[in-house]
């Protein structure tokens, strides 16, 4: 049994684990520098090395996770460090007692008027067009003004889903959100499809403006989760579920906090960091933020 110290984890992850519960879960998948653990309630935790938490339910371990992943088969048992766990045939034991907790929740921020939202959204869109114009969904930023010429198949489908909302300029409401989710979930390339990342960005905006309070109504949540369950992978779905509840990965939270901070000119470096996440996941989330703001105003 390998015993590893958890150096830092998100509040959301910590709240899912009962302190007295020895069994944490089973290894769901390993790739690159990530190990996903399936917990009994069905959620997915993400184990990673030191650094920014790349998933809303993230645990940063004080060890070489790539090497760890090569000796943990899928299905291996993972336990928390406590006396009960000592006799279990676990492959991995995580010591969480001294782990630092990071709060990754995006809550409603007062004072975000439509003009503030518009201004920062415009600034973010401009940044994306000059730094990452051809990655992921970024071409949509221009396409929505100038037309869908030359878009890739997946971007064209995303364009089709968004265009009616654009031209109609309807007031944004919960039903609109749900129909967007239905149209975009699972759409696109990448381990987390571009459509999912877009929705994560959009949800971040909904939370920070208070449009979707963290305690949204049960029927809405159920419908949302149903679309997600049927439409995309467990891994990507976990990000969406957390986003619905207001929990996001650290790079995205850092950007959100910086975009709407009073002295708001430090955000480009956070945008640059987020742009390095995945192949286009970070960029797609930012497109979701930029377009999400404009949809709301």
Partner 1 sequence: MQTHVRCLVLFSTYRDSVWLMHLSHTLEGLPGVQQVAVMMGTPHNKAILQQAGLLTAEGEAGGPNDLLICVQAETPRVAAEALRQATARMTPQGQETTARVAAPRTLETALRRLPDANLACISVPGAYAVHEARKALQHGLHVFLFSAHVDLAAEVALKNLAAQQGLLVMGPDCGTAVLNGVPLGFANRLPRGPVGLIAASGTGLQQVSCLLACQDVGVSQAIGVGGRDVHERIGGYSMRAALQALAQDTDTQVLVLIAKPPAASVAAQLAREAAQAGKPCVLAFVGDTALPAVSEGVYPATTLEEAALLAGALARGTPLPMESVALPASGVAAAQAARMGLQPGQRLVHALYCGGTLAHEALGLLRQALGNVISNLDDTWGAAPKSTHAVLDLGAEEFTQGRPHPMIDPSARRQYLIEAAGHPEVAVVLVDVMLGWGAHADPAGVLAAAWQETQAVAGAAGRALVGIAHVCGAPDDPQGFEQQCQILREHGLLLADSNAQAVRLAAAVLGVHAQTSPAQRLVASITPGAAALPQEQPPPASLPAHLPELLMTGPRVVNLGLELFATQLAAHGAPVVHVDWRPPAGGDTRLAGLLERLR
Partner 2 sequence: MSLASPAPIDAANEQALQRIYAARPYLVAVHPARELLPQLHADTILHAGPPIAWEAMCGPMQGAIVGAIQYEGWAADLQSAQALVASGRIRMQPCHSLSAVGPMTGVITPSMPLMVVENREHGNRAYCTLNEGLGKVLRYGANDAGVLERLRWLQQTVARALHTALQRTGGLDLRVMMAQALSMGDEMHQRNVAATALLGQALLPHLARTVPAPEPLGAMVEYLTGNAQFFLNVAMAAAKATMDTAVGLPGCTLVTAMARNGTEFGIRLSALGERWFTAPAPMPQGLYFPGFSATDANPDMGDSAIVETLGLGAFAMSASPAVAQFLGVGGWAEARRYTEEMLEITAGRHLHLLLPTFDELGVPCGIDVRKVVETAIVPWINTGIAHRQAGIGQIGAGVVQAPLACFVQALEAFATAYL
Binding residues (CB under 8 A) for partner 1: these are 29, 31-32, 34, 36, 67, 69-70, 74, 153-154, 157, 184-193, 195, 230-237, 278-281
Residue from the set 31, 86, 164, 266 that interacts with partner 2 by CB under 8 A: 86
For residue 264, give both structure tokens: 């708001």
Q: Is the Cβ of residue 162 or residue 208 nearer to partner 1 in the bound state?
A: 162
Q: Which is nearer to partner 2, 71 or 217 (CB)?
A: 71
Residue 89 token pair: 């045939």
Cβ proximity to partner 2: between 81 and 118 the closer is 81
CB 114 within 8 A of CB 297: yes
Residue 19 binds partner 2, judged by CB under 8 A:
no
Q: What DSSP designation does 19 have?
A: T
- With CB under 5 to 8 Å by kind, the binding choice for 154 among partner 1, partner 2, none is partner 1
- Residue 186's binding partner, choosing from partner 2, partner 1, none, with beta-carbon cut-off 5 to 8 A by kind? partner 1
Our CB check for partner 2 shows the closer of 81 and 123 to be: 81
Contact 202, 292 (CB under 8 A): yes
Please tell me whether residue 126 adopts helix, strand or coil conformation: helix
- Closer residue to partner 1, CB minimum distance, 120 or 236: 236
DSSP for residue 119: H
Q: Which of 27, 35, 55, 85 binds partner 2 (CB under 8 A)?
A: 85
* Of residues 237 and 292, the one with the C-beta less far from partner 1: 237
d(CA 260, CA 293): 12
**What does 235-279 look like in DSSP terms, one character per residue?**
HHHHHHHHHHTTB--HHHHHHHHHHTSSSTTSHHHHHHHHHTSTT
Least Å distance, CB 31 to partner 1, is 5
Of 53 and 93, nearer to partner 2 (C-beta) is 93
Q: How do beta strands 2-10 and 92-95 pair?
A: parallel
Site string for partner 2, 59-78 (x = CB under 8 A): --------x---x-------
- Please state the closest distance from residue 253 (CB atom) to partner 2, in A: 30
Interaction of residue 3 with partner 2, rule CB under 8 A: yes
The first and second tokens of residue 120, run together, are 């920062």
DSSP for 182-203 reads: HHHTT-SSTTTTHHHHHHHHHH
**Cα–Cα dist 162/291, whole Å:** 9
CA atoms of 138 and 159, how far apart (whole Å):
11
- Binders of partner 2: how many residues, by CB under 8 A? 10
- Report the alpha-carbon distance of residue 3 to residue 40 in Å, rounded: 21
Q: Is 95 near partner 2 (CB under 8 A)?
A: yes
Where along the sequence are the contacts to partner 2 (CB under 8 A)?
2-3, 5, 67, 71, 81, 83, 85-86, 95
């Amino acid at each position: 049994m390998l015993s590893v110290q958890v150096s830092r984890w998100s509040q959301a992850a910590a709240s899912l684990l009962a302190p007295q519960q020895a069994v944490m879960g089973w290894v769901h998948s390993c790739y690159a520098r990530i190990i996903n653990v399936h917990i009994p309630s069905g959620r997915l935790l993400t184990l990673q090395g030191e650094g920014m938490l790349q998933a809303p339910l993230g645990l940063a371990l004080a060890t070489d996770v790539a090497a760890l992943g090569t000796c943990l088969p899928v299905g291996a048992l993972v336990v928390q460090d406590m006396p009960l766990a000592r006799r279990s045939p676990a492959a991995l034991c995580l010591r969480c007692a001294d782990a630092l907790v990071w709060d990754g929740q995006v809550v409603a921020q007062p004072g975000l008027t439509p003009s503030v939202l518009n201004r920062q959204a415009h600034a973010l869109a401009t940044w994306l067009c000059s730094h990452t114009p051809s990655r992921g969904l970024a071409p949509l930023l221009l396409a929505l003004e100038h037309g869908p010429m030359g878009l890739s198949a997946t971007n064209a489908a995303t364009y089709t889903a968004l265009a009616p909302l654009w031209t109609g300029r309807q007031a944004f409401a919960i039903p609109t959100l749900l129909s967007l989710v239905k149209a975009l979930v699972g759409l696109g390339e990448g381990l987390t499809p571009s459509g999912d990342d877009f929705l994560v960005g959009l949800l971040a905006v909904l939370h920070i403006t208070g449009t979707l309070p963290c305690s949204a109504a049960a029927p809405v949540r159920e419908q949302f989760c149903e679309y997600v369950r049927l439409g995309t992978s467990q891994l990507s779905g976990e990000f969406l579920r957390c986003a619905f509840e207001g929990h996001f990965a650290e790079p995205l939270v850092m950007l959100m906090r910086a975009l709407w901070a009073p002295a708001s000119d430090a955000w480009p470096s956070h945008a640059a960091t987020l742009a390095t996440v995945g192949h286009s996941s970070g960029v797609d989330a930012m497109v979701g933020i930029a377009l999400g703001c404009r949809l709301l105003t």
